Amino acid sequence: MIVDLNLIPSQPILNDMINALLIFVLVWLASRVVRIIFVNIEKRVTSLTRTELDGKILHAVKGPVTVWIWVLGLKWALQSLHIGAFGLLSGEPEVISQQWGSATDGVFYVILAIITVKLVTRIFNAIADWYVTRFAAQTESQADDELIPLIRRIFQIIAWAIAVIIVFDHFSISISSLVVTLGAGSLAVALAAQETLSNMIAGFVLFVDRPFRVGDRVLLENGTKGDVVEIGLRSTKILTFDNTIMVVPNAQIVQEKITNLSYPSPRIRVLVEFGVSYDSDLDRVKELVLGVARDHPLILEDPEPKVDFLEFGDSSLNLRFVGRTADYKKQWATGEEIRMALWRTFKENNIEIPFPQRDVWFRNNPGGE
């Protein structure tokens, strides 16, 4: 649709300028109306809903939509000009007007494609920011905090790539060579950063599967035990009992067998193995050990502690105390206190903890001394 009032037929240039001015007035009015509509909708929606996502999306859309209206108005105004009548270009006026229309159409197609990509990316960024504020900031893991910017960057790259392909297709430019080049380039990048990509994919798996969380105590397959202090996109940091940080690549953690000592409950067993002499009364020994457990404030009553008779050892009768404590971080301290209490109790009740011993028999040769 082109505004052509033809108010001054004898002055085509002035007539075109008036048409363009009227178009700009209409565009200005349309932009003002759109802004008022967005403001009213934003106020109503944000007042009716508890989430901030709708307000963020409307705020992200408002700017690009307004620019879109102005760009369309500028395109409309330029195409309304009878450029052949200006005498700036030589040739047939109809041919010049057709070329002018094609040129402006191509330029503004590219501009509108750029604005559309900005519109889509702003909506996605609004959703990502809302997620980071609402959910990611409340989790102890750092993986989602690092994953969201990466997903945002990948989405922007994909959006711009699609826009370039659409623009090339509009101008009838073959994109097969571009696709081949991009494929070869992405393959080269993937091969060069294979280890980094595998760690990042493993970090995404840890983020989704969540086999452990920050603060959990884990036991690695190589015997290392420690507390998880950070779950990143490329690596996981574990605080060992030597007060050192061990950085483990996520790809290695995904492939290993990990024992989560604090899941599904922070309760953990306290095991104390000991031996008494063969002359000891096992019933009396068990009674004394359970008495020590009942007197300890960190040993839980449910499940009830117990003492198991394991085996007849070479030098002693071997037993094992099994109890539960509510906090896995107190496991070692509780076990050490139980062992100290058992040593004092056995000493007071004359229960011997024997040293390793052997009975040696000497046999004389027949007929010898």
pLDDT digits (tens, 9 = 90+) for 261-272: 888 888 888 999
Which backbone phi and psi does 248 adopt, to 5 degrees? -115, 125
- The pLDDT of residue 83 is 60
Largest pairwise CA distance in the chain:
151
Hunting for tokens 């604090």 — which residue is that?
262
Residues of the chain with pLDDT under 50: 1-2
Nearest to 65 by CA among 112, 24, 109, 29: 112
Write the pLDDT tens digit of every residue in 157-207: 888 888 888 888 777 777 666 666 667 666 666 666 677 778 777 877 787
pTM of the predicted structure, to 2 decimals: 0.51
- The pLDDT of residue 115 is 85
Pairing of strands 225-231, 217-219: antiparallel
- CB count in 10 Å sphere of residue 50: 5
End-to-end CA distance of the chain: 132
Please check whether residue 275 is in contact with residue 339, taking contact to mean a CB–CB distance below 8 angstroms.
Answer: no
- The pLDDT of residue 1 is 46
Please check whether residue 198 is in contact with residue 251, taking contact to mean a CB–CB distance below 8 angstroms.
Answer: yes
Q: Return the structure tokens found at 222.
A: 């190589």
